[in-house]
């Protein structure tokens, strides 16, 4: 089950939950979060990273940058 539930999170559910704990309210989907954001030149801890399949107009996946070229995310295939 995706989203935000007792069964777990999808990628945007994890981001929304994490930011909510920090007092920030974000939209529910990766695409809607992307629309609300702004591009940065250099990633800082806590910045969001977006991923999209080839030729997609909107991202379908979002992750949180944690530094040292690493990020955390929720994957439908790897947990």
Catalytic amino acids? 11, 61, 73
Q: Whole-angstrom Cα distance, residue 19 to residue 61?
A: 16
Q: Give me the phi and psi of 21, to 5 degrees please.
A: -65, -25
Please, what is the Cα angle at 20 between 15 and 21, to 5 degrees? 105
């Amino acid at each position: 089950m995706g989203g935000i539930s007792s069964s777990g999170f999808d990628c945007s559910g994890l981001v929304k939950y994490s930011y909510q704990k920090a007092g920030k309210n974000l939209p529910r989907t990766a695409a809607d979060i992307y629309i609300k954001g702004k591009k940065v030149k250099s990633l800082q801890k806590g910045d969001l990273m977006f991923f999209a399949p080839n030729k997609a107009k909107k991202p379908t996946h979002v992750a949180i940058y944690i530094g040292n070229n690493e990020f955390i995310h929720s994957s439908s295939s790897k947990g």
